[in-house]
Chain A
Amino acid sequence: MNFDNTIFNTIDNGIIILDENLNILAWNRWLEIRTDILEKDIEGQNICEKFTYIDNKKLKRKVKAALVTKNPSYYNVDPHQHLIKIKIHSINSVYEYMQQDVTIVPYDIDKKIVCLYIYDKTALCEINLKLERLNDELIDLSNKDYLTKVYNRRYFNDFAKKAIELAKRSEHDLSIVAIDIDRFKTINDTFGHIIGDEVLVTISDILRNTIRKSDIVARFGGEEFILLLNNASLKDATKIAEKIRKIIENTKIEVDGKEINMTSSFGVATFNKENEEDITSILQRADDLLYIAKKHGRNKVVSSL
């Protein structure tokens, strides 16, 4: 029995021996089983001609790196995912192909031959992916309002501080819009909390779908929402607020065959660069303007510097 050959063909890794021109000199049993390609059929072929999806230039460079530095070079699962496409036959896997880490080591430096060890990292990648998703869910839970899925006050305050710093540095405008649903208490008392919640969710969706990616919306209290509009002058912010006001006014919620009309009031304030004010002060100004909108008949946008 050839001991080396036994290890070569029983180890739980793929092993490929390549010359500097990327011709395959050896291909172990692990690969034969998983690719359905026998060593005798692949020996002598160029790996990049056989598997045309492999980047020839990149692999050649990595082989050269191993030979020049006399140390391993790597073909990592992040970012490459795989070297050889090996189908995964599992209904549970999110991956179509086996995720692989590949280590390229000098095998015979004089003859310029390297050895590639292929490790199956699929299970680990699956776990990492699940953890990433759970982590995203946790972040969402801690940053967002459970009912409306818009941001909460805590997240808003953190975001706003950074946004103000950025606005100062880049000399951009930044505007705040305070929004309050008109007569929300009456809606709740008349139709019940379930319909009240539906109104909150509907208006949240309108706000989220109307603002840009660079802006955020947060729920501040029962029926009060705040928009932070990056790089928006008072004129721009007023226009956006007016657009939202009209959409809300034209949106109806149906309850037992009856339509509920909704309206909202708006206060718009812009970050004052001269005074270098903080977020609390802009919020206060937007809130004061909202109060004026309420006082003057509701369903209005009131803005000022």
Chain B
Amino acid sequence: MITRRSFCKKSLLIAGGLAVPLAALELFDPRKLLAEKDQKGPRWVFLVDTRKCVGCGFCVKGCKVENEVPYDANVTRTWVERYVVTKDGKTHIDSPKGARDGFPEKGIDIGHGKLEEIRDEEIEKAFFVPKLCNQCDNPPCVQVCPVGATYQTADGVVLVDRKWCIGCGYCIMGCPYGVRFFHPVYHVAEKCNFCYHRITKGMQTACVDSCAFGARRVGNLRDPEDPVTKVIMTERVNVLKEEYGTKPQVFYLGLSKEVK
């Protein structure tokens, strides 16, 4: 007969064994990951020239069609914001439907389907700012994903594995830029991936191709001859929300302090 003592020992052993998930046995080697990151090869970055953006929203349309984000769903991988700063120092911002159809109304969309009209004389300055995933060098979305469904490739792009995402939404909470959402069809986390299927084949992203004004450009930071890299290295570029320590890789020309 089994003694109580040995029973206790054995059950503790089994319990302990069960507590260690099998997959944990193959632990990550951080050095291996680092080596993968240091590989030579491209590091994709983005350059947005806000001075050239006219707010037509063709990029948003182009992206939705290319990446099969349902056209009428109120989510989008990229969007354009309109900033209107008035003489009283107030900033008015909107992005109706992510500016999929540009900005058909002159009034500022303040939610509840209401518009706030601003008279021309009151306006101090106004401009447009396109937004997309920053493919952060230190991406919080990758850090917080409990199952590793969101990951960063060697060339710096952050991707989501649609077959592995459990749809917890932690990454959506973790992104300070609000670029993530749940895909209305696949019901998993979704985000801009710089049209990874295109740039890795030497093509431009869909939004870059749709922009008639050259406000958007994609480039390779590891290639010193790349025109985008040259601009980033030699001109006064800025990034969004640097204070979060995410090391964003979308660079902006002509960014204003009002931009959120």
- A and B associate: no
